Structure 1
């Protein structure tokens, strides 16, 4: 059953956040920048969070048609925006961590109503933008097993309930995992895949390559694996222990999310206002532990090595947009072993891990281009 789901946080919750911020206890500054987010940076985030207008965010959110559906026993919250154009293509947009559906807020108007934004009506999409299990206003799973695979199957069910037998998929970060899996298991329904983070890895022999471009990609991946993935290890190992502080301390939550929103963007490309919107969303939905648990679930699911990935090929038309600030890049040669029908591979000169925030106009143009093949153009 699908029902409208406007959001509203009680006044008491807003007052509680202000009270906790007023009683924040912070540690001494670190002696080295490699130890984590700086004290001055965190203080700046907390100052903005203290003055954040949650009610304004609620009004923005509720101006977009928002629903909740029970899918496989879980309440899945999602935006569903139908285009005024009758020939619009249904498209599922899936976010990642430390993001949310807010990553796609600025894309909704241009994608659903291209004529109003100077583009042809033929580029219109009907959008479905679900929150991952345990994220945002989707329910927090009460049982294990809500991993990428189960989520992909849930998205397929949701699209059936919405009356969309065929549709496109897009995602970055975890959204790429869900979109890739959905395209793999339902090639008869998914007309095409677009992603900003292709999921492919080098084979052992590839590590000896002398190709300069591939060497740079390998070195960047190695740097990320050495120092850039504590979020995977911490959240994947003990999400419950780690989650207590994320749900109870706004300063702890702001430090954890803010550090990664800064680090994964190109040149700190996610504005402080966008960051605080995200921190407030995680805070008021109390999803710090649940979103950490997503890592625990998925470190126990799915292909990990290049050989395992390549043994689960994706055959639907796939288009990729690569941004230079993406911390976990992939070479096209590796991607072609898994994605067997790559129709576009575009390398941008600006942008990072959060293109919906950093380069929304570019992402809109790339999505329009990626699915023109599915429209017979």
Structure 2
């Protein structure tokens, strides 16, 4: 086999963590030093003291450190080199040969852990009371700098480069006709990829639609008033503007990672520091997680949350993942110019709820738009049944 063939080969990958690394994690959790309790009774100062103390107690004493390895090892894992970087991915072929190939991309502070609950229902729907005609062959990659994928050692690995890498991955797997799905960064990568219209991509599903008009988005992200020449806003559009104002004024983690990711070195040294940073993504998600660690039933369990943080810790990817914000030059919610078929699912606790009018303008080939009853930013992780139904319904018209 030639060197070139070796680099482009798709090789099996074994998920395995050293006992010494897990023992070190336990030791660091046990020796955590905490700040004092917040001076407010709400979440306005960030990750609350009581939640972090409970995270430390449960993580250090009751959490099963073998969960991440067992969860990911339940699926076929692979690795291949694309554009000079190792890309890890889960690849599960459906038992139904007519299944539609689908690549699903996670975001930050997520990982392939987010998609673990949806893999079986999407690939084997008949096992879960569904129809074989709704089956997917599923590809779930770890973004560069995340999980078991390589950590870029040079600049340039932003969402546009990922959007060029994913079609190459699907081609290597033998897929000539396929769809894509994403939320958070995965939505941005998927949107950009759809705008690039690579060979084989027939349409996308997004649960964080990029629908905001460019001039309006540029004003809101810089805390400027709505431009005077903006057409009159209907009730849904005005609500979206207010949500965007709130979101842009409460995502300073993104500004920090986007400007000084290397200054977050402490995240690689303190597991509780890492947890405090990761759980404070958006207001609704932080509410959800604090309730989970207070013993209230929510869409996420304590184990769910700690599985993801544990993967970040054991792969030491907190800083390499953060650099994606530094690399990005594209708007989070602004339009990409997608002409391919697009399915949009709107979860009620998402950072902003894209109005149908904006979705129709952003995606002239809109094939599905639905506002669901429950779920937030981490939809596949928090509400897998609703998410699976939305992916099936949203992409059904793309099947031959």
Give the structure-2-normalised TM-score: 0.88
Whether 2:273 is the aligned partner of 1:232: answer no
SS at match of 2:257: helix
Instruction: Tell me which residue corresponds to 2:45.
Output: 35
Query: Would you say the 8 A contact 1:315–1:340 is kept in 2?
Result: yes
Mean alpha-carbon deviation: is it higher for 324-333 or for 152-161? 324-333
Q: Decide which of 12, 22, 46 is 2:20's aligned counterpart.
A: 12
**Segments ≥4 residues shifted beyond 6 Å:** none
SS of equivalent residue, structure 2 residue 280: helix
Q: Does the aligned pair in 1 maintain the 2:280–2:286 contact within 8 Å?
A: no
Aligned partner of 2:367 among 343, 348, 352: 343
Partner of 2:293: none
Which residue is equivalent to 1:221? 244
| Of 357, 361, 371, the match for 2:381 | 357
Whether the aligned pair in 2 keeps the contact of 1:323 and 1:347 (CA below 8 Å) is yes
What is aligned with 2:11? Answer: 3
Larger CA deviation: 205-214 vs 137-146 = 205-214
Aligned residue in 2 for 1:55: 66
Match of 2:210 in 1: 199
Q: How many pairs were matched up? A: 368
TM-score for both structures, normalised by structure 1: 0.93
Match of 1:148 among 147, 151, 159: 159
Task: Note the residue ranges of structure 2 that are not aligned, 5 or more in a row.
Answer: 1-8, 217-226, 290-298
Q: For 1:21-42, what per-residue CA distance to the aligned partner results, in whole angstroms no more than 9, with x for missing partners?
A: 1211111112124221111110
User: Does 2:340 align with 1:319?
Assistant: no
Paired with 1:39 and 1:260, the residues of 2 have a C-alpha distance of 16
The 3-state SS of whatever aligns with 1:371 is helix
RMSD: 1.8
SS at match of 2:179: strand
Superposition map of 1:91-170 within 5 A: 91-170=102-181
Residue in structure 2 matched with residue 245 of structure 1 by the alignment: 266
The alpha-carbon deviation at position 215 of structure 1 amounts to: 1.4
Unaligned runs of at least 5 residues, structure 1 = none
Query: The residue matched to 1:345 in structure 2 has which SS?
Result: strand
1:50-89 to 2 correspondences below 5 Å:
50=60, 51-89=62-100
Whether the aligned pair in 1 keeps the contact of 2:76 and 2:90 (CA below 8 Å) is yes
C-alpha separation between the residues in 1 aligned to 2:34 and 2:286?
26
Asked if the contact 1:134–1:141 (Cα under 8 Å) also holds between the matched residues in 2, the reply is yes
Shift of 1:189: 1.7
1:173 aligned onto 2:184: yes
The separation in 2 between residues aligned to 1:18 and 1:305, in whole angstroms, is 39
Cα-to-partner distance string for 1:198-247 (whole Å, 9 max, x where unaligned): 11213435866352222111111111112x211111111100011x1111
Residue 264 of structure 1: CA displacement?
2.9
Match of 1:46 among 28, 50, 56: 56
Cα shift at 1:104: 1.0
Decide which of 270, 275, 279 is 1:254's aligned counterpart: 275
Equivalent in the alignment of 1:328: 352
1:23 is the counterpart of 2:51? no
Deviation per residue, 1:240-285 (Å, 9 max, x gap) = 011x111111010011112227743774443221111111010000
Question: Does the 8 A contact of 1:176 with 1:197 survive in 2?
Answer: yes
CA contact (8 A) 1:83 1:126 kept: yes
